[in-house]
Amino acid sequence: KKELLQTLKGKENITLDGKKIMLYANIGNMKDLATVLQNDAGGIGLFRSEFIYLEKDQFPTEEEQFQIYRTVAETMAGKRVIIRTLDIGADKQCDYFEMAKEENPAMGCRAIRICLTRPEIFKTQLRALLRASAFGKIAIMYPMITSVAEVRRIKEIVNEVEEELSSQGIAYGRPEQGIMIETPAAVMISDMLAEEVDFFSIGTNDLTQYALAIDRQNPSLDEFYDAHHPAVLRMIEMVVENAHKAGIWAGICGELGADLELTQKFLAMGVDELSVSPGRILPIRKIVLETDVEAYKAGNTGV
Ligand code: PEP
Ligand code: MG
């Protein structure tokens, strides 16, 4: 069966009725890069940059980060590499950040909230990302967004960083900028958010946690954690619709995107991209190649 999947390498991700989808890979460290290429990923849909911070006992420098982002961009040779900015807090703790202890870390100061309250940390990462963008097709993605104001503030900070780099005569590129949709608030205002960014990527791990009010870290709640809950599936459908109305694309980078039982449903919803662990790319491609989306829709009455 493995050998059969190997024959799918180099093929387009296109359904029997001609609908295309992008199949990208999630990576959590540099060692994953080899398997990304082996499995014929069309790009990297989620580069979890926090590993760069978690591996160290002090803040990584701009230069250290630049080297890593540049290496990824060059290795992917023109394919899109979506790098998510720092997403620590909650389940991912880093001592040298000296964060206050919180009663409710999943709802606390995490991800973009740290970046917006401590812009010096954010700016160092943005400088590295903008500089590395001159060496490949980097896109930046911001996690845990809940409002339009946050996105506007982020874009202002990016503009400031660009001006600083220009005035210092340092080369940089102009990456696409997207956001993760992983809070119910972001889902409900996805029509407004779509006007502000180049793409959406749905983080179903956190979105399920916040939509169902179930701590994703608590195994004793497994019986209540329904990964196929219609609330989450309807949210995905709504986000894709709002993205398309505004002319941008929407993908899924949470675990649900790799669920083979849902691949056809996602195709029917018009999901544009799935970012999954590298080993899932060819199995999903196989389903895509065997699906007739219009026929599937005709036999299915939605979520
Ligand atoms: C998600 O929340 O679905 C996601 C992809 O991000 P992480 O699992 O890193 O929080
Ligand atoms: Mg998340």
Name the more confident of 103 and 25.
25
Tokens of 10: 């180099």
Residue of minimum CA distance from atom 6 in ligand 1 = 203
Residue 303 is predicted with a pLDDT of 60
Tokens of 62: 């701009």
Choice from 205, 212, 255 to test ligand 1 binding pocket (greatest atom count within 8 A of CB): 205
* Sign of the alpha-carbon dihedral angle for 281, 139, 200, 109: positive
Q: Which residues line ligand 1 (CB under 6 A)?
A: 46, 48, 87, 182, 203-206, 253-254
Q: What is the pLDDT of residues 150-176, one digit of tens each?
A: 999 999 999 999 999 999 999 999 999
Ligand 1 closest atom vs CA 91? 10
Residues in the 5 Å CB sphere of ion ligand 2: 182, 203, 206
Please determine, for residue 1, whether its predicted confidence score (pLDDT) is greater than 70. no
Complex prediction ipTM: 0.99
Give whole-number Cα distances, 210 to 75, 151, 246, 265, in Å. Answer: 35, 20, 25, 22
Under DSSP, the state recorded for 33 is H
DSSP 139-180: EEEE-S---HHHHHHHHHHHHHHHHHHHHTT------EEEEE
Mean pLDDT over each residue of the chain, to the nearest integer: 96
Residue 302 is predicted with a pLDDT of 62
Ligand 2 centroid to residue 56 C-alpha, Å: 21
Ligand 2 centroid to residue 207 C-alpha, Å: 8
SS (H, E, C) the chain: CHHHHHCCCCCCCECCCCCECEEEEEECCHHHHHHHHHCCCCCEEEEECHHHHHCCCCCCCHHHHHHHHHHHHHHCCCCCEEEECCCCECCECCHHHCCCCCCCHHHCCCCHHHHHHCHHHHHHHHHHHHHHHHHCCEEEEECCCCCHHHHHHHHHHHHHHHHHHHHCCCCCCCCEEEEEECCHHHHHCHHHHHCCCCEEEECHHHHHHHHHCCCCCCHHHHHHCCCCCHHHHHHHHHHHHHHHHCCCEEEECCHHHHCCCCHHHHHHHCCCEEEECHHHHHHHHHHHHHCCHHHHHHCCCCC
Strand partners, 92: 89
Q: What is the pLDDT of residues 101-154, one digit of tens each?
A: 899 999 999 999 999 999 999 999 999 999 999 999 999 999 999 999 999 999
Residue 220 is predicted with a pLDDT of 96
Q: State phi, psi for 165 to the nearest 5 degrees.
A: -65, -40
Tokens 């997207």, located at residue: 178
Under DSSP, the state recorded for 258 is G
Ligand 2 centroid to residue 143 C-alpha, Å: 7
Note the ligand closest to the C-alpha atom of 46. Answer: 1
Residue 17 is predicted with a pLDDT of 96
Q: How far apart are CA 206 and CA 120, in angstroms?
A: 26
Residue 90 is predicted with a pLDDT of 76
Ligand 2 centroid to residue 164 C-alpha, Å: 30
Ligand 1 centroid to residue 204 C-alpha, Å: 7
Three-class SS of residue 226? coil
